[in-house]
Amino acid sequence: MRSFATPEDEWREFLQGTHPHLQDERPLRFIPSSPRCKLCKAPFRAPGALILRRYGFTPWEKNPNICGRCFRGIASAARACPGADDTSDVRGADVEVSMLFADVRGSSKLARQMPVLEFTRLMNRFYKVSRDVLVEHDAIIEKFVGDEVVGLFVPFLAGRDHARKAFEAADALLRATGHGSADAPWAPLGAGVHTGTAFVGIVGSAGASDFTALGDPVNIAAHLASQAAIGEILVTTDAAAAASLPSDGFERRSVVLKGHPMDAVVVSPTASVR
């Protein structure tokens, strides 16, 4: 396999989907049965999974369509690069990524108005629906926190069309929570989608590490989502262009993010996007 000068170089190719590990025909594809890891082709069901799961070939919690061993393997390979620093707890690289932030609007008010158990069931339903939508659209579930869900669309999994997938996931999530229907949504959501270059990888120390994205583009996506009204998806012009959204037919809105004005496209589930 080709060698890399630095761990960042290897991580970058992995995250962009161009690493040799992702190009080779994997021998695990011959072991039954489906579904399989999209990267190494390890089977997740019996009979093959009965043997492989003891070696770590199990669905990754961030997206069950891939296995956690693939990430541990690339992290180990990166640490073996000539330029690797054994003391570093940062494993990743700067790559273009699309991000989706969506949250339940007025959740504090809902919590005050509903019995605790009923509100808990509502949020659990929101988490489950969000997880299913993100996984279906090849996202990495970055986190569930409070009333918010964050999805990362990284090229190695979502492909080059990651911006389009992020937008489609946002649209699907709003539809799945009842927006765009005749009835009121069962979970009132606002969402933001942004595309930009951010650090993507594993941060933290042993036993307390996480796969995440860091940088200003992440903050932009978070602030963008906070300014979306119920039933709206705010898409930055960069993300809209990358997703090939039509240049006309949508409302344009100037939003202020962290003190800086930015143009965004406003989309709702009732809009027709081709």
Q: Average the pLDDT over 182-210 and give the result.
A: 86
User: Which domains can be identified in the chain, with CATH numbers?
Assistant: 7-86 (no CATH), 93-267 (3.30.70.1230)
DSSP H/E element including 219: helix 216-226
Where in the chain does DSSP place strands (E)? 59-60, 63-67, 91-104, 140-145, 148-153, 189-203, 210-214, 233-236, 251-257, 260-267
Tell me the three state secondary structure of residue 129: helix
Give the pair of three-digit tokens for residue 8. 């960042």
Given pLDDT bands bounded at 50, 70 and 90, which one contains residue 53?
A: confident
pLDDT tens per residue, range 109-154: 999 999 999 999 999 999 999 999 999 999 999 888 888 999 999 9
pLDDT value, residue 170: 96
- Tell me what percent of the residues of the chain surpass a pLDDT of 90: 47
Contact 149, 130 (CB under 8 A): yes
Q: Is the pLDDT of residue 89 over 90?
A: no
158-180: b (≥16 Cβ within 10 Å) or e: beebbbbbbbbbbbbbbebbbbe
- In the predicted model, what is the mean pLDDT of the chain? 86
Determine what percent of the chain is predicted with pLDDT higher than 70. Answer: 86
Name the band, by pLDDT with cuts 50, 70 and 90, for residue 76: low
The torsion defined by the Cα of 131, 137, 141 and 142, in degrees rounded to 10, comes to: -140
Residue 102 in 3-state DSSP?
strand
Greater pLDDT, 160 or 248: 160
The predicted structure's pLDDT at residue 242: 93
Is the pLDDT score of 94 beyond 90? yes
pLDDT band at 88 (very low <50, low <70, confident <90, very high): low
Residue 27: band (very low, low, confident or very high) from pLDDT cuts 50, 70, 90:
confident
Task: Say whether pLDDT at 186 is over 70.
Answer: yes
The C-alpha atoms of residue 268 and residue 44 are separated, in whole angstroms, by: 37
Q: Judge residue 108's burial from the number of C-beta atoms within 10 Å of its C-beta, 0-12 exposed, 13-18 middle, 19 or more buried.
A: exposed
